[in-house]
């Protein structure tokens, strides 16, 4: 088994054995091919009032900014059909996104006979939002030639065969998330700052609870004189109870 170089990727595509639609030769690299972002993506919630949603990228919405901590699922524009003598042992995202802090969660490989659009889940673990746009080169895929071709009928036929949309369980997981995610931390920080301002405004409007309780000179003098009163002139506890009729 060995990895295909750029020309070895182009040749089976031209021959129709490795199907990549639409195919752009300019996206073929020395030992891989870049695939582009398709029109649909799933974005997880950003807060209680900013729920998860499915987004369509088009002329009006050509890009989407993935917020820090947010999870997003994207699909390749290209549809791939892998012949029975090839597989892909590596697919991920381009380094220009990785260095910004975009983390990719995808399958470890693509089996011989696999057909469909690539789908990966992403999370922004960087300090700033990361923009992704429709038709932007994004995925990087390598292909390997098997030492022996898989027999007809023994290629991949799993649950993700012919996938042209996000799996239903992935939609539910990303769009319907209700717990606090990392993406909500900036929102929580803003809410806390706003709450602090409101508390200070309310505090400024409340009357001073100590107002009018200042001890004047006469009271201080009486307190001082009481300390000098002889003990025999002070009421005993029993006398105090009688005076108070207790």
Residue pair 63/133 in contact (Cβ under 8 Å)? The answer is: yes
Q: Tokens standing for 149?
A: 């071709």
Using CB atoms within 10 Å of the CB of residue 57, give its burial: 0 to 12 exposed, 13 to 18 middle, 19+ buried.
buried
Per-residue pLDDT reduced to its tens digit, 198-213: 777 777 777 766 666 6
Per-residue pLDDT reduced to its tens digit, 138-173: 999 999 999 999 999 899 998 889 999 999 999 998
Q: Looking at the DSSP assignment, which residues form a beta bridge with residue 161?
A: none
User: SS3 of 209, please?
Assistant: coil
Per-residue pLDDT reduced to its tens digit, 211-237: 666 667 777 787 777 777 777 777 777
Whole-prediction pTM value? 0.71
Query: Domains of the chain (ranges plus CATH)?
Result: 2-179 (2.70.40.10)
Q: Verify cis geometry, omega within 30 degrees of 0, for the bond prior to 97.
A: no
Nearest to 119 by CA among 166, 184, 81, 66: 166
């Amino acid at each position: 088994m060995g990895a295909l170089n750029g020309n070895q990727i182009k040749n089976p595509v031209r021959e129709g054995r490795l199907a990549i639609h639409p195919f752009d030769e300019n996206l073929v690299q020395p030992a891989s091919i870049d695939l582009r972002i398709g029109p649909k993506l799933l974005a997880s919630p950003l807060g209680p009032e900013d729920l998860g949603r499915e987004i369509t990228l088009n002329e009006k919405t050509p890009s989407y900014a993935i917020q820090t901590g947010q999870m997003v699922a994207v699909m390749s524009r290209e549809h791939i059909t892998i012949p029975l003598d090839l597989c892909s042992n590596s697919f991920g995202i381009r380094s220009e996104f990785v260095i910004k802090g975009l983390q990719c969660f995808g399958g470890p490989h693509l089996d011989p006979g696999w057909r469909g659009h690539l789908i990966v889940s992403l999370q922004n673990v960087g300090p700033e939002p990361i923009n992704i746009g429709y038709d932007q080169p994004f995925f990087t895929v390598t292909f390997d030639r098997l030492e022996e071709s898989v027999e007809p009928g023994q290629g991949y036929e799993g649950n993700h065969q012919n996938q042209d949309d996000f799996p239903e369980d992935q939609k539910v997981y990303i769009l319907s998330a209700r717990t606090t995610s990392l993406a909500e931390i900036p929102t929580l920080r803003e809410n806390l700052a706003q709450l602090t301002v409101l508390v200070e405004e309310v505090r400024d409007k409340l009357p001073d609870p100590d107002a009018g309780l200042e001890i004047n000179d006469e009271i201080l003098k009486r307190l001082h004189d009481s300390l000098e009163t002889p003990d025999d002139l002070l009421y005993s506890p029993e006398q105090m109870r009688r005076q108070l009729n207790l």
